[in-house]
């Protein structure tokens, strides 16, 4: 069963077709990666899927429902969460507070209801804290819970961001460059974490430049170049596809 289905998505900025007619699907427990040279349209595609950009054409289907252009908080309630290429962590809050912040997106209680019903609000806060500590354990940050997020290493921050997205208990998780800026050890930790989350049945859509990580972890790879899907398949077939090799070599030549 396909949980997330991308159907002919496209968008232009001015005259530039940043993404055109891209389709693919992601099943529960599967890791699908979107790769391609710089400027290929990967982040733009993510932004359309996650409700940040309004697609010019095409549809995003989540569990059979058309969720095209639905804002991120409504997508989160339907089980789709994302992290960002540029970290979006609250630097001066603690690791625990950052993770707890993930829970508040999901809450329906109003401030007034909280004031009128303090015991329920306190109970919810306790549950959020317990849940956050459990997530920090899963991502290997339980000992850093009380530290300021700004004092963490880059790899730990990336894992914190994943923990915060997991607070929403997603069925589909979009990760934009989770290993960017990480060293080899940190990348391995991210690798293990993604595999674990997928094994729990979450559908994972990944944008990542680290080819070793992509080849190790993906069930399926979609290759973009100049906004178009030029290839897709399992890691072995994609890595020997002549069009893919040419796109990457072309990008290298263009960069000098």
Nearer to ligand ATP, 78 or 220 (CB): 220
Nearer to Mg ion, 177 or 232 (CB): 177
Taking CB under 6 A as the criterion, which residues in 18-57 touch ligand ATP?
18, 36, 38-44
Nearer to Mg ion, 17 or 78 (CB): 17
Judged by CB under 6 A, the residue of 12, 13, 71, 74 near ligand ATP is 13
Is residue 92 at the binding interface for ligand ATP, with CB under 6 A as the rule? no
Is residue 43 at the binding interface for Mg ion, with CB under 5 A as the rule? yes
Q: Rounded CA gap, 60 and 223, in Å?
A: 18
The CB density around residue 147, as the number of other CB atoms within 10 Å, is: 14
Which phi and psi angles does 13 have, rounded to 5°?
-115, 110
At residue 61, the 3 state secondary structure works out as: strand
Is residue 50 at the binding interface for Mg ion, with CB under 5 A as the rule? no
Nearer to ligand ATP, 58 or 102 (CB): 58
Q: Rounded CA gap, 37 and 251, in Å?
A: 6
Do the Cβ atoms of 153 and 176 come closer than 8 Å?
A: no
Q: Rounded CA gap, 68 and 70, in Å?
A: 6
Sites of contact with ligand ATP (CB under 6 A)? 13, 16, 18, 36, 38-44
């Amino acid at each position: 069963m396909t949980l997330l289905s991308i159907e002919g998505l496209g968008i232009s900025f001015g005259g530039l077709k940043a993404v055109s007619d891209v389709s693919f699907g992601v099943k529960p427990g599967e890791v699908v990666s979107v790769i391609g040279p710089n400027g290929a349209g990967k982040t733009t595609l993510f932004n359309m899927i996650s409700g940040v950009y309004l697609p010019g054409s095409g549809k995003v289907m989540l569990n059979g429902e058309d969720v095209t252009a639905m804002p991120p908080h409504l997508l989160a309630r339907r089980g789709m969460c994302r992290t960002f290429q540029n970290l979006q962590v609250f630097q001066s809050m603690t690791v625990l507070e950052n993770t707890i912040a993930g829970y508040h997106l999901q809450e329906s209680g109003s401030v007034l209801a909280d004031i009128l019903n303090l015991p329920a609000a306190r109970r919810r806060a306790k549950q959020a804290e317990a849940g956050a500590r459990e997530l920090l354990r899963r991502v290997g940050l339980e000992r850093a819970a009380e530290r300021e997020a700004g004092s963490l290493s880059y790899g730990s921050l990336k894992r914190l961001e994943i923990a915060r997205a997991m607070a929403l208990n997603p069925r589909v998780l979009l990760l934009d460059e989770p290993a960017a800026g990480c060293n080899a050890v940190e990348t391995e930790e991210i690798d293990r974490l993604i595999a674990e989350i997928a094994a729990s049945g979450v559908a994972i859509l990944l944008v990542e430049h680290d080819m070793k990580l992509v080849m190790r972890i993906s069930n399926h790879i979609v290759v973009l170049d100049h906004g178009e899907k030029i290839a897709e398949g399992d890691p072995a077939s994609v890595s020997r596809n002549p069009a893919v090799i040419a796109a990457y070599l072309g990008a290298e030549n263009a960069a000098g």
